[in-house]
Chains A and B, each alone.
Chain A
């Protein structure tokens, strides 16, 4: 089975995926009444980390055709092999971590039990609760306190949606967000104000854009400053200054960086040596790692300067459709 994201993106460029990460520092209430309601159900919790004990700095990498998510020493200049692996997982796409170090991976559950989000305790720990997604193709998760967001790549019909889960309220989504301009959902990220940002294709043009949901609530608003006129969107992420980083897959792949309130032209641009769908900032935010799906490598750049630093390839195969990347 191939990567569903790949199939859609193939027209633009050969693609293997990855995943964006947001690590907000404060919890917020679950999305409010402006979110379309879903029927909640209880989840069973099994050893999920909720403490903030010191943890090794790791970079997780997912490959769509692999059955585990590999973790590397974060500053892996020596191209060392993965230090551990989380799994098993089935068809993983984008991945994210929360502030406790728990790993969230958009997956298809094994045995064709549907799609959703698989979770794992920090540092390749044991599996945690799962979150179900019954309608679309889960692409990328983001966590904001006890709220979990999941963008679908495709719902099978327009517009595509972001599902909203209450981590404490079971495996079913409690709401969903959408916008009539959303074509395909690629990435989600949350800034320090708990505003959700969603990278999508524009349903009419097919080009990239970012939609903002203030406080994670409807209605969404397209950030016109993020309109792209070519290429295909990738993920989104924030730095500690709340700058919005928008990954764009194009003939000249790049990360466009927008300063708050995200209505001005890009403050800067990082040119990537090869296309990636997702990138993630190191914990100290001095490096940004992008998962190069063409070459099967994690490419490290200085942040915010954007200078290319190094790559590592150990255990990553371009044929396995590398896609998600996140740090712990």
Chain B
């Protein structure tokens, strides 16, 4: 099905036996990365390329060119930031993506490493410095714009920085004499506070929060120290020895991810990445080898992990009246934004291919978890599921009956016909509705009278619409004068039930069309249409699977036609656009930080 099409990573992997396991190169090297979906990814930068592997398995996903890459970091959304010396900037790449989605200017500095504040999304960049001038720390508010610069008179060269879970920033570097310095920029403080450690760090390396302690990698000691900080004193409360790590002591980044410490170079050479157990330490448990250009000038010094991570939500999210939820197959997450500003406010994790969405009158959001075989309910601005209902197929989308509060879910089937499941009052056990004539279903939609519609294909790909009339007990076809070239979602726009065509043919080519329809005695009659134009390259490459029409109230409560269509364009990775409704035409604005592979969306309005 077109709506389920996705880009598949080109990775080929050849494993090599040994202790520790060594993951060797694929037969194909040098291809550009294909967006990798789902799960954690390991990013390894060499000066001119970035290499992506699955994590923790270490399977090669792809590589792409960069310029003067230094030590990358990732944020809570899994976006990766790569500092580049030469261009003097930091490029932001979406999890699994290839093309930068943003570039932060760092002109005149030597961006060395970075860290993302988990509480604010601010990005800190350690600017190394020059022989003739000390470095500094640049902090980009919300990872955007012009940074605020901070410097510590005790530090000349800045190596690494890392935020703790409260937003305090820790930095290491060396002073004029080459002695290590460790300092903190408190969350609310504008100046550095130097921290005296109870033991000397020989060669300061990476700084990172491990969930309990701030850690400092000592490259000369080949160890990761866990530090408990109290005021201006730091006490090393534990040390992880990385046996066999033959560091060059030139600032290779180590990265902690769960119970693994990832370090480059490993015990053997600079072209390898090793995984060590953390905090146990000892010998590496896995080595990735043979990548990183395979050329003589490989540097291979940096590692970062874009994590599948955990759900999070800004404490302010609940108070935001309108929240935009976007399902992303590339990361298996749902990203939450302030609808009015486009600012990220949260991420919902734990999905396996999140798909279509719907909202109830109260603004609770239901998300179809396609491979997870469930629909999951979240409160407006909530980060924990309120309810998870298991489906009997692969759910593509949902709708809430405005009259009863029933929840309808359209499912693909692993074999045979799909179905619609309806949960009374969105709870309990569902009633199941299927019909061979409604073989494949897209996201269903209730009208204000409680009639449920879904666009369908027959087994032999004839397109049409099926209906469960209010109070009825069966799913059946309904006639319509709409011509649907490729089915999409159905939705109440506040005035009409709307059908959508993902691949409507217009004079400009393939676009997405929305048809406003009225229920008549003979079926659904089209009374208007909205064309969504202007994709990433041409007018005709717009494909929105289930356009979401935004009104002044949540869909089931909405009695006034919406004014905006929000939708991810699946033809154009990392794009999410807004069109005027019902006027349509060219999109009026875009979501700046769109996910890579968005497939579903909704707007929740707090009531």
Contact between B157 and A225 (Cβ–Cβ < 8 Å)? Answer: yes
Interface of A is mostly: loop
The complex places the Cα of A178 from the Cα of B108 at a distance, in Å, of: 25
The residue in chain B whose Cβ has the minimal distance to the Cβ of A246 is B131
**How does the 8 Å CB contact mask read for A64-105 relative to B, with 1 for contact and 0 for none?**
000000000000000000000000000000000000000000
Contact between B86 and A202 (Cβ–Cβ < 8 Å)? Answer: yes
**How does the 8 Å CB contact mask read for B307-343 relative to A, with 1 for contact and 0 for none?**
0000000000000000000000000000000000000
Of residues 205 through 249 on chain A, the ones whose CB sits less than 8 Å from some CB of chain B are 205, 218-221, 223-230, 246
Question: Nearest Cβ in chain B — how far from A297, in angstroms?
Answer: 25
Cβ-neighbour of A180 out of B47, B133, B157, B176 (below 8 A): B47
Of residues 113 through 169 on chain B, the ones whose CB sits less than 8 Å from some CB of chain A are 128-134, 156-157
Q: For B128, what are the chain A residues with a Cβ–Cβ distance below 8 Å?
A: 224, 227
Contact between B177 and A264 (Cβ–Cβ < 8 Å)? Answer: yes
The residue in chain A whose Cβ has the minimal distance to the Cβ of B67 is A204
The complex places the Cα of A223 from the Cα of B251 at a distance, in Å, of: 10
The complex places the Cα of A291 from the Cα of B564 at a distance, in Å, of: 72
Contact between A204 and B85 (Cβ–Cβ < 8 Å)? Answer: yes
Contact between B85 and A205 (Cβ–Cβ < 8 Å)? Answer: yes
Tally of contacts, chain A with chain B, CB under 8 A: 85
Of residues 166 through 186 on chain B, the ones whose CB sits less than 8 Å from some CB of chain A are 174, 176-178
When A34-B296, A230-B132 are in contact, do A264 and B251 touch as well, CB less than 8 Å? Answer: no
Contact between A36 and B250 (Cβ–Cβ < 8 Å)? Answer: no
Tell whether A203 is near chain B: CB-to-CB under 8 Å. yes
The complex places the Cα of A258 from the Cα of B67 at a distance, in Å, of: 27
Q: For A202, what are the chain B residues with a Cβ–Cβ distance below 8 Å?
A: 85-86
The complex places the Cα of A228 from the Cα of B128 at a distance, in Å, of: 12
Number of B residues contacting the other chain (C-beta, 8 Å)? 34
Cβ-neighbour of B157 out of A203, A220, A230, A265 (below 8 A): A265
**Residues of A in contact with B, size category:** 20 to 34
Tell whether A111 is near chain B: CB-to-CB under 8 Å. no
Contact between B248 and A221 (Cβ–Cβ < 8 Å)? Answer: yes
Of residues 245 through 276 on chain A, the ones whose CB sits less than 8 Å from some CB of chain B are 246, 256, 258-259, 261, 263-266
Question: Nearest Cβ in chain B — how far from A275, in angstroms?
Answer: 15
Contact between B250 and A228 (Cβ–Cβ < 8 Å)? Answer: no
Q: For A218, what are the chain B residues with a Cβ–Cβ distance below 8 Å?
A: 296-297
Which of A204, A218, A226 is packed against the most chain B CB atoms within 10 Å? A204
Question: Nearest Cβ in chain A — how far from B114, in angstroms?
Answer: 16
Cβ-neighbour of A219 out of B174, B177, B251, B270 (below 8 A): B270
Q: For B225, what are the chain A residues with a Cβ–Cβ distance below 8 Å?
A: none
Tell whether A179 is near chain B: CB-to-CB under 8 Å. yes
The complex places the Cα of A223 from the Cα of B132 at a distance, in Å, of: 14
When A227-B128, A227-B130 are in contact, do A220 and B297 touch as well, CB less than 8 Å? Answer: yes
The residue in chain A whose Cβ has the minimal distance to the Cβ of B300 is A219
Tell whether A181 is near chain B: CB-to-CB under 8 Å. yes
Of residues 38 through 56 on chain B, the ones whose CB sits less than 8 Å from some CB of chain A are 47-48
The complex places the Cα of A9 from the Cα of B586 at a distance, in Å, of: 52
When A203-B86, A205-B85, A264-B177 are in contact, do A180 and B297 touch as well, CB less than 8 Å? Answer: yes
When A263-B249, A263-B250 are in contact, do A180 and B48 touch as well, CB less than 8 Å? Answer: yes
13 contacts between A and B (CB under 8 A): A178-B297, A180-B297, A181-B68, A202-B86, A219-B270, A223-B250, A225-B157, A226-B131, A227-B110, A230-B132, A246-B131, A263-B157, A265-B134
Instruction: Give me the interface of A with B, judged by CB distance under 8 Å.
Output: 34, 36, 159, 178-181, 202-205, 218-221, 223-230, 246, 256, 258-259, 261, 263-266
Interface contacts beyond A180-B48, A223-B250, A265-B134: sample of 4 additional A-B pairs, CB < 8 Å, sorted by A: A204-B68, A225-B131, A264-B177, A266-B131
- Nearest 10 pairs between A and B by C-beta? A204-B86, A264-B178, A229-B130, A218-B296, A265-B156, A227-B130, A180-B47, A180-B297, A204-B68, A256-B131
